[in-house]
A and B are shown apart, each in its own frame.
Chain A
Amino acid sequence: MAISVWLLGGPVASVRVRAPAMRTRTKYSKKMVIKNRLGFHVRPVQRFAELAGIFRSSIEVEIDGQRVSGKSMLGLVSLGGRCGSVMRITAMGEDARQAMGVLSYLVDQNFFVEDDLDKEKYPDRHITRLVTFASCFDSNVWVVCRGKKINVRDNEGLLSLGLRPTSRVEFLAEGLDSMQARQVLDTLASYQFYVEDEMGARARQKAD
């Protein structure tokens, strides 16, 4: 971006300002344990690869000395991660921190696989997922639903929206990582926030 400096009615200098933050190459690495009963099967892998694919950074996953791209379903399935396997996620690039935030939350939450989840206990898990994903980004993020626009940091406002996993929502984001933030949240909403009963219900309607 070029900024001209004016003095006594005329330009005297032109200063080039570098865009901050997102230009910096960074590397983040984290070891995590796969906790879900069926291991790193297709559902976890699909969710991981799709979210990883949103980021510009390179993302690698290593299990038992075998390392593959975190954006490739085929590569990730070939790791054969089981319940208890240790995976190392490495993200390198301008949005590595944001990628690591999103992906490590996904792994920590058993990839949102709900086979063994006590669903009654977490009726608002779709909102928790939305807020946590949004908090991985520096951008300001708003949810637009039923004509209302609410900042995701506004807890009371968010609850007042009466957001359901199947609600039609739109996300607005403003900041250096707004594109990735919107894509991550759009993906989340497109899968009914990974609330699997709702995803299943939609599939049943289609199949029956």
Chain B
Amino acid sequence: MGVGIIMLVHTAFGRAEQVARHWAAAGCPLVIHVDKAVPRKTYDAFVNALSDMPDVRFARRHRCEWGTWGLVAATQDAAKIMLNDFAEVRHVYLASGSCLPLRPVQELIDYLAKRPHTDFIESATTADVPWTMGGLDQERFTLRFPFSWRNQRYLFDKYVALQRVLRFKRKIPNGIVPHMGSQWWCLTRQTLSAILQDPERDTYDRYFSKVWIPDESYFQTLVRQYSRQIESRSLTLSKFDYQGKPHIFYDDHLQLLRRSDCFVARKIWPFADRLYQAFLTDQAGAMNRTEPNPGKIDRIFAKAVERRTRGRPGLYMQSRFPVEGRENGLTCAQYSVFEGFSDLFENFEPWLAKMTGMRVHGHLFAPERAVFSDGQTVMNGALSDSAALRDYNPRAFLASLIWNTRGERQCFQFGPRDKQKIEWEIAKDPNAQISVISGAWAVPLFKSNSNFSDIRREAALLQQVESKHLEVLRSQWTKARVRIWTMAEFIEAPMEPLQTIIDEIGQQNLRGLAEVPRMTDLSGFGQFLQNLKNQGMHPYLMGDFPVEHRLNEPQQNQRKPYLVR
């Protein structure tokens, strides 16, 4: 028999026994190590349960706390027993009690028999591995770690900091180069015995016993001294999350595991009855595997890590509520804000909806209610149009709207008549495209039928609000794509800016704008502004309008719909 199994067990003894019997049934001898923290009674019961198996040995028990030397010591003792007691073993496979063989053991035996001199152990230099935790990569080999990371975190951290301050450095013995990798390996008798019988072993043991997480570096480093042929990968499928904890497999992973072509998976939830059933007892089913697709497992777990560390941009929910600056996107998709356009053009909203296929809302932040598209009172996500609800948390309102309508670009009108509390949120959002025709708020006043003194007061107020708003848009914190035209500028050649905006929105409409929005009749607007000036108010945001605003013939020009290009 070629393969011997070393099994490290600390919990779920029923499952460990089941797996041990499975290995043994295929003729693999086992050496089992049980954590010293396990109560005597439990240990005895476990030993007793396996007493009918001739080729099972138990190693001297060590205390195996995560990241400490105990795990290596346990492995060493167990390996010694394995090599002494089972002379026919050629490869030694290190597994844990929560490992589950996915393929028939015979396949593993055959596989290793074909590669009699290959050591399967993940072993990479510290500079080349991305998975180190806590920023300790090279330092884990040059500092001392007498305190437990799990239970004495404060002392652990302080002691590391102290050593850094003192520039303390341990010497790495005999010039070995530290390597790291998964602790689950499969080594040949030659390599393993060379490591265990090395005359310098005491030196190495002393050194590694103070290294942090030696079980991921002891064999990984020393194997480089002796191995004839290293295959730097682990035969055990084991996925780690962002904290370095192994992902756990459950019943619903059955199909995934069937499609992985690994020999052994870890770690399995002890109550995953279907997995144990499928892989341990149902040999026929395990043999009858579908096309292997190990990439799928990778993707699923990589996605889980990404979700935990980066989350879904633009989502605010009960378990994702980022502090300012860490949102990784204030909203989840791009949207457009138009200011002044619906004042200047009579049919701007329906025109825009028709041209671009976007969802075009009215003034979402109007004081009376949120004016959703098509006069709806409730929008996607059951978002209410109530002004009180919206103003209670305008930022949540906007983020929800954009989130709820994923897949459909949103666009809304904004202006100085609206509630301004949202302006910073929009300005800081790289997803926002803001287009402003400054001063266009004067057009509805110009058209209105109010007393002129009221108009004057209103105009002064709106101008003040808008000029503050423009300051925000021009501030250094603004990340939105902002375009600002004065009204005078804009009506000189209205189609060019419109075309630019719509191109940027990136709709399929490549042939240019087939239709133009109808501009409101502005004859007399220059005089209107002059009247405001005469009353002592100074309207400046709309740019320079001559009093006699090309009153007659240029008007004709403007009214005529024309095409750009």
Partners in one complex: no
Interface residues of B (CB under 8 A from A): none
